């Protein structure tokens, strides 16, 4: 084991090797009542480690760097930019169960805009971490507001949580909606209402 720097939180974290992680998953298989040495499970710990690297790759990415490059040649465009239906696949931090849904993101540029794919990438970075939906919504909004020096930012996430659809209360049709507004979206209800009308089209 060795310590590595968490660039997102400026902390030193203990780095665990792939082999150590695989051994941990073997222990979990035994705890479940399985035999990790049977043929069908021999490669499972390695596959799970590989999958987890994909599920949680956001810990190794800095969302602020994604927004470094902006464009000023927009001929004075100063109305909201909205990107709808950004797929969200995350995991809740309480049960590590999937969170599946969509995000809608809007910002009002001050002087510069950012490439459209960058909005989706910011959603992706924060989604690929253990999350609560409330924090995820706020992290996306605050990062866009700060990095773009925007006049306002709005973020909406509509998702289902498998920690309550597959276990516990088991309400399969329940979805959760969170909204977070900054700047003009928070201060001006007409701006907020325009945004909500625009994203409601995505649900028809």
Q: Domains along the chain?
A: 2-55 (1.10.286.10), 70-203 (3.30.1130.10)
pLDDT higher than 60, residue 8 = no
- Report which of residues 172 and 94 the model is more confident about: 94
Catalytic residue among 22, 104, 131, 133: 133
N residues, the chain = 204
Looking at the DSSP assignment, which residues form a beta bridge with residue 91?
A: 98, 130
pLDDT at 166: 87
Catalytic residue among 65, 94, 134, 187: 94
Both tokens of residue 174? 């329940």
Catalytic residue among 91, 163, 191, 192: 163
Query: Mean pLDDT over residues 14-35, rounded?
Result: 96
Residue 64 and residue 62: Cα distance in Å, rounded? 6
Give kind and range of the element (H or E) at residue 179.
Answer: strand 176-183
Catalytic residue among 22, 92, 139, 184: 92
Query: Mean pLDDT over residues 122-127, rounded?
Result: 98
pLDDT at 4: 47
pLDDT at 10: 53
104 belongs to the catalytic site: no
The answer to whether 101 and 85 are in contact (CB under 8 A) is: no
Q: Assign 1 a pLDDT band (cuts: 50, 70, 90).
A: very low
Q: What is the pTM of this model?
A: 0.89
Q: Give whole-number Cα distances, 76 to 2, 22, 107, 111, in Å.
A: 50, 54, 15, 7
191 belongs to the catalytic site: no
93 belongs to the catalytic site: yes
Catalytic residue among 161, 184, 191, 192: 161
pLDDT higher than 50, residue 78 = yes
Query: Mean pLDDT over residues 187-200, rounded?
Result: 96
Both tokens of residue 113? 């805009």
pLDDT at 9: 57
92 belongs to the catalytic site: yes
75 belongs to the catalytic site: no
- Report which of residues 180 and 70 the model is more confident about: 180
pLDDT at 40: 97
Dihedrals φ, ψ of 125, to 5°? -60, -50
């Amino acid at each position: 084991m060795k310590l590595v720097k968490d660039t997102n939180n400026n902390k030193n974290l203990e780095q665990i090797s792939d082999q150590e992680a695989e051994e941990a998953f073997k222990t979990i298989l035994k705890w479940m009542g399985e035999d990790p040495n049977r043929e069908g499970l021999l490669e499972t710990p390695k596959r799970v480690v590989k999958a987890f690297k994909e599920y949680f790759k956001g810990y190794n990415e800095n969302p602020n760097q994604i927004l470094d490059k902006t464009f000023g040649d927009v001929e004075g465009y100063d109305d909201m930019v909205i990107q709808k239906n950004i797929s969200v696949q995350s995991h809740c931090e309480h049960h590590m169960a999937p969170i599946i849904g969509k995000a809608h993101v809007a910002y009002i540029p001050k002087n510069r805009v950012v490439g459209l794919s960058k909005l989706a990438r910011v959603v992706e970075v924060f989604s690929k971490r253990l999350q609560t939906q409330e924090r995820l919504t706020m992290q996306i909004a605050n990062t866009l507001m700060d990095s773009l020096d925007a006049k306002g930012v709005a973020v909406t996430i509509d998702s289902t949580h498998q920690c309550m659809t597959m276990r516990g209360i088991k309400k399969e049709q329940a979805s959760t909606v969170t909204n977070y507004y900054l700047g003009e979206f928070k201060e001006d209800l007409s701006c907020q209402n325009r945004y909500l009308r625009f994203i409601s089209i995505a649900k028809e």
